[in-house]
Each structure stands twice: as C-alpha cells, then as structure tokens.
Amino acid sequence: MIRSAKALLLAVSLSCLVFGQTPVETPKTPDNKAGAYYNFAMGRVYAELAQAYGNKPDYLTKAIQHYQEALKLDPSASLVFEELTDLYIQTNHLRDAITLADELLKANPDNVDARRMLGRIYMKMISTQDNRINEDYLRKAIEQLQKVTEKEPGDAESWVALGRLYRVSNNSPEAEKAYNKALEVEADNEEALTGLAMLYSDLGDNKRAIEKLKLATEKNPNERTLIALGTAYEQMHDYKNAADAMKQALEMSPDNTRLQGALANNLMLSDRVEEALSIFEKLSAEDPTNVQPKLRIAEIYRVKHDYIKAADALKKAKALNPQDMEVRYEEVRLLEAQSKYTEAIGQLKGLVDETGRPKYSEAEASARGQLLEELASLYRTAGQYTESVDTYRKASALNKENSAAISLQIIDTYRSAKNADGVRKEVDAAAAELRAHIKGKADVPTLLMLASVYEKGKYYAEEAKALDDAEKVAANPKEKESVVFMRGAMFERQKKVEQAEAEFRKVLASDPEHAGALNYLGYMLVDHKMRVDEATQMIKKALELDPENGAYLDSLGWAYYQQGKLEDAEGLLTRALDRIGEDPTVHDHLGDVYFKLGKIKEAITQWQASLHDFHSPAGLDSEPEDVAKVSRKLDAARVKLAKESK
C-alpha cells in the first residue's frame, strides 16, 4: 500500500498520534490542500493498520472514509485515486468505487483519475464466477481507458491495460497499437513487451513473440518472462533455446517443480536426454507418489530402445495408478516399439471398450476419435486392413469435422492392402463430400483437402485441377503460398523436378523464410545431385528456423553425405531418427553413411530397419522401387560382410 520509504515514515509518525482515534473533522484551509493531505495521510495510516491486523473491517472503513474525504477536498490528487482504487479492489468494495468515480465525473467530466479508477474497477469485474467474460464491463473498461489515453497519451500503464482489454476482446490490431503506444512512451516497458509477445503468440507469430520476450528478459530477466520465452521457443519446436530459457528461470525459482518438469521435457526433446533423465529421476525420488516423472523416464528409455528399463519405470508408474489412461497408453506405445502388435492392439482395444459410452460430449467424442484412430493405425501396421478401415470409419462417425482427414488414412490403408478398388471408391466418396461443401462457396482449405485426397490416390490430374481452383480463390499471400507449395510437392512426386523447383522458388520469392519450401527444395536438389552446395545452405536456413525438425535434420545429413562429410552426416541422421522414430528413408540414409565409413554391420542394421519401416505407417508413401533399392543394398552388404569374415 505504501509506495515509498518516505511515505511509510510519514504514516508511522502519524499513527503514533491517531492510533485508536475516530476520524476527526478536517482542518479548514483556504484551498483545502492541507485538509486533503491530512486525510490522505490518515487513510494510509488506517490502511497500514488494517493490513497489520488481518484486514480488520473497522480500520478498512476508516481508511476508505479518509481517502474519500481527501478526494472531495482535492479531486486532482492522483496518488489518492491510485491508493483508494487499490483499497477498493482489496476489500471488494467495487460498487462503492463506481459510485464515487461517477460522482466525481459528474462534477468534472475531464477528471482523468476518476476515469482511470473506473477503468481499473471494470477490469476487475470482467471475469464472472463461472470464468466467462462480462462483455458489458469489458466494453466499459475499454471506454474509460480510451478516454484516459486520449487525455494523457504519455500514460504507459493505461496503454498496457488497454492492450490487455483489446486482447481479451479479440481485437488484435487495436491491442498491438496499444502495446506499441506504451513502448513509444517507455521503450523498455516489460509489461508492454510481454503483452505484445503474448499477442503475437496468440496469432501464431512466435518469431515476433520471441523478439519481444528477448527484449523484456534482457531489460529485466525474471521468472515469468523467461517461462513465456521458453514456451514461445517450444511452440517453434526450438527445444534447445526453450530449455535454456527455462533453466535460467529455474535459477530464480529452484523449488518450482512444474518448471523442473517443463525444463526436463525440453531437454529430452533437444537431445540432452541424460540431463532430462536426471531431473525426472530427482522429481520421482522427491515425490514417489507422482506418476508423471516415472512415465517420462519410461518414455526416455523407450526412445533409447532400452525396453527393459522402460518396462521397469512403467511398472512403477502403473503400481501407483493401474487405471491411469496415460500409463496404459504408454504400455501400448512400448509394445508397439517392440513390434508386439498383437499385444498392443489388445491393450488399446481394451481401453477403447472400457471407455465406451452411449453418448459423448464434444470433447469426449474428439478424444475417443483420436483413440480409435490410434487403434486403426495399429491394425494397419499389423496387416489387419479390414479391421483398420472399420475402426477409422467409427472414428469418422464421432468426429465428422475431421472426416476428410480420416479418409486420407483410409486411402492409405487400402493402398497398404494393395486394394485399388478400395482406393478409388474412398477417393470418390471423400471428394464427393468435399465438393458438396464447396458447392456453397469455394474456400482454399477445403480445396487443398480435396487436392490432398487426390494426391493420396495418385490422381494427379484431378489434384492439379483442385489446386488451380484453390489458387483462383486464394485471398492472401499465405493462402497462395500454400497452394503453390502443394503444387511443387505434386510435381516432385511425379519426378518433374524442374516444374517442382519453379513452384518452390515462387514460394520463396513470396516468403524467403518459408522453412518448408527451403527444406523441400533443398532436399530435392540434393537427392538429384543438383547444386548441392546451394541446396545445403537452404536446408541450413530451414533448420535455423526450426532447429529440432527431424525431417530437416535428415535433409542436412543427406546433403553432408553427398559432400563427403560422413561424420557430420552420421550425427545429424542419428538425431533425425531420435526425432522421427520409424522412418525408412532416414534408416536408408544412415545405412549409406555407415557403408561408406566401412561400418558394414551397422549399415546392415540400418537397412534392415528401413525395410521394416517400409511396412509401417511411416512407409506408406514409399514406392516399390525404393524398397527394391534398399533390398539390393542390403544383399550386397551381406555378401561383402561374408567375404570379409572369411
């Protein structure tokens, strides 16, 4: 409540004189300034006494009375307004605050402090008891703070508050303007920088969010802004910088167990697995009843292919809560990692059966749909194609908004089963459904989904037509980039390298930092041994934009292989496998690297894994010639190893 040491000394000295007294009559002065100051000081005394005695009502009442009297005598006393507003909010006397402010505004509509008080009070009243937004109070708060900033454009605090209110009302352009106005007044205003960062994060512009948060942490590093910075890095999949930011935050709050867990997760995702494991083991030891650290330990060992330790950690987690859904789902993932598909299907089907209900809420239907999709994928991996399709259809019935995406999975299942009729029928059915939607009004997302359906069925003429239609209705550069990028991918799948390159170059002309186009074009050029040095620089730039992307790591590893940088290639491809897991192409690339390094046994292991993954969901888009090529390399390596062993 007391805002300076000098004010505190004044309040303490006055309290010695008035402790226990009732409010006295205000001394009469020509301009009432002395009376206002006296009541202001008395208000502080009683506010401090109330605080010292657990918000004693008598003291709070006297504090409010004195502050009110001070304002009547001097309606321009800004500090009195500020402290009285604090007191009203603290004591929940919000209606009294509104009444006082309205009275003062009737006397003087230009009283900025009264409007500032109203703005703060209405802000406090925005959230309802059921966590909804009271639109009326939101509007009133905005109105008052707009008037404050019109009268006092140098009030950075009010600009920040106005930015928050606009953000709550989903008015992003005005929120951005308000935060920037605050920064014009105070270039290093932490609240404005952080608010602007959160706004950019809401809009999905994590790069700009990070710029603002970095400025805020450089000016005044604190736990809140560092966690926000780490979270923004997380959303960009830059787990290394996310971990570094959270580690710095943890130094300021070493006992924050939630932050420790978040740090460990980011360490795990940025290849610092041993550091992550150490933190999770510490958290598990400190709270043996907490399931989560044990689950993360199990996950780490599963990813490291140490299935015995993974099973041991999972057993401990299960002992704490045998019915925990996440524990049981991790069991499924562990079985799947060990290629124990029959057991994994049994476990997951048990979860599906147990969680069945006659009716589902929207959230429950979405969650169950995801569970069914996982089961359908397992059926497909195990070669049970009929069961897979049936299960995908059940998932689609629960989540009709996602039906087109599920149709893509069904098409993949028919392709895995080499069922051409099934592919054609599913493509036709999905296309008809999407076209029925388009009939009302064509939009880019629906047309791109239609193009994806045709692409899955390898009906490239129909895909090209859908993309042409999408380009005609694209309303902004981002939509056009999406269309052109997809057309480039279509040409690449048809081995039309020149046409594909032309499309990707268009995307990069529009957005030079389009990570997907940089990587796709770079990898395509490397794979065709075309301008490898230039392509390598493109892939490096893509990785700078998304440092932990497994596909980009694979691309750069393959580029280094083509350049003869075998050890660098090995490191990158190993990291790519950690990120992606199953992937026939990455295993194939790593096999090539090992073979050139003379590590024949390791190459054989990678090519065996590649052939295995061709039959998993990761290999659905592979061509028969890709499988044949790996098979030939594997056979040659086995012959070479046999000769060397003689």
DSSP calls for 25-77 = PPPP-SSSHHHHHHHHHHHHHHHHHHHHTTS-HHHHHHHHHHHHHHHHH-TT-
Helices 78-91 and 112-124 sit at what angle, rounded to 10 degrees? 20
Range 506-524 average pLDDT: 95
Q: Tell me: the pLDDT tens digits for 215-274? A: 888 878 888 889 888 888 888 888 899 999 999 999 998 989 999 999 999 998 888 889
Say whether pTM exceeds 0.75.
no
- Mean pLDDT, residues 153-176 taken together: 91
Can you give the length of the chain in residues? 646
Q: Which of 37-46, 364-373, 598-607 has the lowest mean pLDDT?
A: 37-46
Residues 6+ apart with CB under 8 A from 555: 519, 522, 523, 526, 539, 542
Going along the chain from its start, the domains and CATH numbers come out as 581-646 (1.20.58)
Residue 620 is predicted with a pLDDT of: 66
What pLDDT is recorded for position 533? Answer: 95
Residues of the chain with pLDDT > 70, as a percent, come to: 93
pLDDT at 646: 67
Burial of residue 598 (CB within 10 Å: 0-12, 13-18, 19+) is: exposed
Distance (Å, whole) CA 529 – CA 524? 9
Asked if residues 225 and 216 have their Cβ atoms less than 8 Å apart, the reply is yes
Burial readout 28-65 (b: 16 or more C-beta within 10 A, e: otherwise)? eeeebeebbbbbbbbbbbbbbbbbeeeeeeebbebbbb
Which residue reads 């690297």 in tokens? 593
Kindly tell me if the per-residue pLDDT of 3 is higher than 70. Answer: no
Residue range 101-122: mean pLDDT, rounded: 82
pLDDT at 643: 81
- pLDDT value of position 9: 33
* Amino acid 619: pLDDT: 65
| pLDDT tier at 21, thresholds 50, 70, 90 | very low
Across the range 143-165, mean pLDDT stands at 91
pLDDT digits (tens, 9 = 90+) for 390-449: 999 999 998 888 888 899 899 988 988 889 899 899 999 998 988 888 876 778 899 999
Diameter of the chain measured on Cα atoms = 114
pLDDT at 617: 66
Tens digit of pLDDT for each residue in 41-64?
787 777 778 777 777 777 777 777
More confident call, 259 vs 613: 259
Residue for token pair 């799947």: 336
Q: Which two tokens stand for residue 214?
A: 């970095």
**pLDDT reported for residue 75:** 76
Binned at pLDDT 50, 70 and 90, residue 81 comes out as low
Minimal CA–CA distance to 574: which of 563, 560, 562? 560
How confident is the model over 510-530, as a mean pLDDT?
95
What pLDDT score does 622 carry? 73
Least confident of 170-184, 213-227, 236-250, 590-604: 213-227
- Euclidean distance between CA atoms 423 and 520, whole angstroms: 27
Q: What is the pLDDT of residues 433-490, one digit of tens each?
A: 888 888 767 788 999 999 999 998 899 999 999 999 999 999 888 899 999 999 999 9
The confidence band for 5, taking pLDDT boundaries of 50, 70 and 90, is very low
